[in-house]
Chains A and B, each alone.
Chain A
Amino acid sequence: MFLNHFEYFAPKTPAETLELLGRLGSKAKILAGGTDLMVVMKAKAISPEYLIDINGVEEFKGISCEQGKGAVIGTNTKLAEVQFSKAIQAKYPALAYSAGEVGSSQVRHMASLGGNSCNASPAAETPTPLVAMGAKVVLSSLSGDRELPLEEFILGVRKLNLAENEILTKFIIPEPTQKSACRYAYMGRRDAMEIDCVNMAVNIELENDGETVKNVKLVMGSVYPRPLVSKEVPTLLHGQKLSDELIEKVAEAAQGEAKPIDDIRASAEYRREIVKVLARRLLIEAYAAAKGV
């Protein structure tokens, strides 16, 4: 299992990176953690002529998470850093949890948050809670930066809204509002080195009374070519107080929207069942957390 021959670049600054990307375009691949890229290159699924290793660019790394200011996470921040960051654990527990469930310890120390989105696998862990929390991505090129909600960035299996001279440089996550909570859950055959058969995140914001739902976002992973944001769930829950009956109705609505496929990990039928299970579980958890109980 040899890799193809390629030319290797290790820029030290964002400017150098953007210049290389502008010049090499689609012939180049960006190397961050390599936990996906190296594997597909070994399998000869792709054979890029150039690799741009961004691990030497300090500006692409790090977490800035101040009280009241949301968070900004560099694209090449390792998943283990996200997992163990006290600030992320406190403010965005769903994100820290999902990052800690990717691959194995080794994979999390190599793989980056940006890579987990840019790989555009429908079963990816972190995009699901990031979309639920309303995260935006910053895409940079020589001609400047543009911001995009993450849900408009991932278009399908291995498909991104990214020009060939652009690179994802950071994630911007909004500050959680008062009386809100986001929770994440997944189902897979085993815990480690497993690709989820379904994952899901629910973000609930309550009115000042602490009971009525003001906003809700339910996002499903691995049941659609990209993170699937439920349209029906907010309609059903808006202005309502959560009851057992309503939870059942909402979970069924999410189930109806999921479009899973049969594959080696699970059948579509099983996945649809699991959507209901996870939706029920997460609605209860997130609602309770938002109420502060």
Chain B
Amino acid sequence: MKQLIELDINNRVYEVAVDARDLLLDVIRKKVGLTGTKKGCGEGDCGACTVLIDGKPELACIKLAIACQGKKITTIEGLVQEGGALHPLQQAFVDHGAVQCGFCTPGMILSSKALLDRNPKPTQYDIKHELSGNICRCTGYKRIIEAVKAAAEVWSKEGVK
């Protein structure tokens, strides 16, 4: 039996009809139409579906949509800055060539954002440890880590929302 729920995604409230068993990932992609969040393994291992829920990184492929009412969900689309500019993390990924096929990128960036929000000056180990749940099969980890470091510097200089 479907029921009508409200989901706050990127500061916009969407009214969607869901089954109790519908997963947040499928609702975001198919019902809301935001396809930046990717479906990888579907078992919570790869991190491609990472979204921020109340600022914390969570896995949308093993999260019930119905359990997300009243929470603030941020997807990669929500990082857009005023005037459509890229978020400093996105810019750093572009500048450092940290994107190859791009499938893991939205999850990588959201996990990095959660890390920098909590710890604006992470060490190399902090970055590796916190991003270890995001798997890149192009194996471009080195540049991803460099990009996060660079973004952290911008972060501490300018402050980012």
Q: B interface vs A, CB < 8 Å?
A: 19-21, 23, 42-45, 47, 50, 56-59, 62-64, 66-67, 111, 114-115, 118, 129-135
From DSSP, what is the main secondary structure of chain A's interface residues?
mixed
Choice from B23, B43, B56, B135 contacting A109 with Cβ under 8 Å: B56
Q: Is the CB of B47 within 8 A of A42?
A: no
Q: Is the CB of B64 within 8 A of A34?
A: yes
Chain B residue at smallest Cβ distance from A191: B132
Bound CA span A35–B60, Å: 11
**Leading 8 A-B pairs by shortest Cβ distance:** A104-B133, A192-B132, A8-B20, A38-B62, A3-B21, A109-B56, A106-B57, A105-B130
Q: Which residues of A contact B62 (CB under 8 A)?
A: 34-35, 38-39, 42, 110
Q: Is the CB of B64 within 8 A of A104?
A: no
Q: Which residues of B contact A109 (CB under 8 A)?
A: 56-58, 114
Choice from A3, A7, A104 contacting B132 with Cβ under 8 Å: A104
Q: Give per-residue flags for A1-33: 1 if the beta carbon is below 8 A from chain B beta carbons, else 0.
A: 111111110100000000000000000000100
Q: Is the CB of B57 within 8 A of A105?
A: yes
Choice from A39, A42, A106 contacting B111 with Cβ under 8 Å: A106
Choice from B59, B67, B115, B132 contacting A31 with Cβ under 8 Å: B67
Q: Report B51 CB to chain A, min CB distance, Å.
A: 9
Choice from B43, B59, B115 contacting A110 with Cβ under 8 Å: B59
Chain B residue at smallest Cβ distance from A37: B62
Q: Which residues of A contact B130 (CB under 8 A)?
A: 105
Q: Which residues of A contact B45 (CB under 8 A)?
A: 193
Q: Give per-residue flags for A46-74: 1 if the beta carbon is below 8 A from chain B beta carbons, else 0.
A: 00000101010000000000000000000
Bound CA span A31–B21, Å: 12
Known contacts A192-B133, A193-B45: does B21 contact A5 (CB below 8 Å)?
A: yes
Q: Is the CB of A42 within 8 A of B56?
A: no
Q: Report A97 CB to chain B, min CB distance, Å.
A: 12
Q: Is the CB of A107 within 8 A of B59?
A: yes
Bound CA span A10–B65, Å: 13
Q: Report A79 CB to chain B, min CB distance, Å.
A: 12
Bound CA span A42–B25, Å: 14
Whether A135 sits at the interface, judged by CB under 8 Å, is no
Whether A80 sits at the interface, judged by CB under 8 Å, is yes
Q: Is the CB of A4 within 8 A of B21?
A: yes
Q: Is the CB of B64 within 8 A of A53?
A: yes
Whether A103 sits at the interface, judged by CB under 8 Å, is yes
Q: Which residues of A contact B43 (CB under 8 A)?
A: 39, 42
